[in-house]
Each structure stands twice: as structure tokens, then as C-alpha cells.
Structure 1
């Protein structure tokens, strides 16, 4: 699912083979965020391509922080900002075609790593919303389906070849694939009885 945030600008697209160190890097960052956030965050999960073993990805950790109420995070954002994490003051929206652009099901806050640290994107989403569920469903489906994982990787590689210096173009090309994969993921979820997994942190 494409993410709309202030850092979607022209920049190189570099995909690297899956790196086993992504999992412990996530765990270390999640522990740090848990200490900062306390009970304001219900769960912290490793999402995106770096959370799928075997999948090529940009060397960017994506973390989902699930909160009870996205409109009542008065303590969370300042605590993260005080620790150096950037942005987060305004509501943003993910993109998914069958939902209105400003739907409550797609809203979130977005933050980045402190300056000078390894690249990480924090997606703060509300419990029970479509986008929070989709991020975990998408991850788990790719983990479970070698065929979907392989074909998605091929699409990513070709998109990077077409837009090697333009992350916006890369994301634009990938966007329809998220919708196709959603349909397949929903069928898979129904077949296997998928439910929200236990949190990663």
C-alpha cells in the first residue's frame, strides 16, 4: 500500500538482497520505541519488505506503531520528537483506491529516524483501521506465498530499473500491484483463517 508522506521526493531507488540483520535491527529499534512510548502504543510490528525473509528491498526499516486513537496521541509524538525522531505533527493518509482519499480508515501519522541514524519509517496507525490491518496481512501473505513473493520482487526490480532515480515513479508503478495482492491476500486469509498475529513488540 503506497504511503503518502513528505519524503516522497526524487531520490535514487536502490534494492538490495534480503539481509538477516534487518530482523535484529528492527527488534533493537522496537525496544527503544517501546521504552519511549509506553502504554500509548498498543503494539509495534515490523512491516514492509524488510519484514519478509528472502525478499529484495530498499534498506529501510518500516515499523507500524498501533495506537488506540490516532487523534489522541498528544503524549506520543512529543516523546518521540524529544528523542530525535522527525515529523509527525500532522495527519497523513495512505492510498487505496476503493476508499476515499481522506478516509479515517487510511489516516496515519508518519515519522522518521533521528538524523544520522539508520533509515527507518514509523507508520503510526489506529487499531481496527483498514490500513493497520492491511500492513500485517500483506506482510504475512508474502511470507506464506513463495509465488506471490517472487512475482512481487520481480515487479519491484523492474520498477527500480524503470525509475532508478525517482522514488515517486517507482511507487506510482507499484501502486496497482498492492490492490491486486490485497485481493489474493484476502482469499488466502479466508482459506487459512488468518487473524491479526501477536505483536512483534
Structure 2
């Protein structure tokens, strides 16, 4: 990993504040990988060599898993503090900044159907996204548990998507621990 150009942000900036959105779960859709491929191309065109890795993550990346119809994209960059290398080009490509926090930026489409998570190469968050995705692709029992959990949580009212996401933490942590054990690496 290279030396950062400047210190990273130290607080969480949620651009636009808390949003209450209708949350729905949809059955797996063959359009999800197609949408990812379109955004992968758009991101790579915008960032060039600054996009070290572009991966489809989140529930829409797992065949057979019902999901919120939001495509999650993981982008790794060499220096999260060098926003001029990636944030400005992503905004110019039509994405909108939603979150700026230590080690992570989130941009999304104006239609709110694609979330692009930007982290540094080697960040634990990047590894976590990929280990969790790959485990759900391979483990039918945990895939079913995760889907059941999401469906059960949608029976409740949520102030915003972050509260819904936070409510999944215990199940995600347990699944991630099994994924790490399967991969032979310690969970963090």
C-alpha cells in the first residue's frame, strides 16, 4: 500500500442526511449481473488505472439469493485520501456522493439502484465483502439463513436503510465467522 497523500477524514459525513426508503426484497433477477457489467464498464472508463479492482458484491451478486434491487459495487483504489483520483471522476460519470467516512466512500446513482463502495487496496472491508459474497455463493444453508433474516427484518418499520443494515449485523458476523473458518483465515 502506498503512503496516503493526506490524512483521511475522521468523521462520518452522510450527504443528504437520514433517508427513509421503502425496502423490498425481490427474487433473484438475471438483470442484476448485466447491470453490474454496465456499471463496471462505466467505473473503469471513469477511473482508468485508479480502479485497481471492481467487483460485484452484496446480495445481488449471489446467484439464487433474493435481494433488495440495489447493485453493490466494490472499487479498490491505492489511496482513499486522493479523492481527486476517483471521487471527482465518479461524480463526473453521473454518480452522487452519499457517504464519506474513514477508509470508505460511497457514491450511488441518482436512481438509488447502484451503490459504489470505494476502499483502499488491502482494506479489511474489501476482503470482508469478497469473503462474505464467496461464502454465500458456496453455502446453501447460510444463503438461506441470510435470506430468511432479511425477509424477517422487512416485516418491521425502519427509520432508514442504515438501521435495517445494522439489524443484520449479528447474522452477518456469524456467517462471516463460518466463511473465515472455511477459508482457514481468522475473522476480524
Aligned residue in 2 for 1:18:
28
| Structure 2 gaps, min length 5 | 1-12
Aligned residue in 2 for 1:78:
88
Deviates further, 64-73 or 138-147: 64-73
Q: What number of residue pairs does the alignment pair up?
A: 172
Cα shift at 1:92: 1.3
CA distance 1:166–1:172, shift in 2 (3 Å): same
Aligned residue in 1 for 2:105:
109
Structure number with the bigger relative contact order (C-alpha 8 A, sep ≥ 6) is: 1
Aligned residue in 2 for 1:186:
180
CA distance in 2 between counterparts of 1:59 and 1:168 reads 16
TM-score, L = length of structure 2 = 0.84
| Runs of 4+ displaced beyond 4 Å | 4-8
Is it true that 1:154 corresponds to 2:148 in the alignment? yes
| Structure 1 gaps, min length 5 | 94-106, 192-201
Check whether the contact 2:58–2:129 (CA below 8 A) recurs between aligned residues: yes
Residues 26-55 of structure 1: CA deviation (Å, up to 9, x unaligned): 011101111111001101000000000010
CA distance in 2 between counterparts of 1:8 and 1:52 reads 28
Query: What secondary structure does 1:75 align onto?
Result: helix
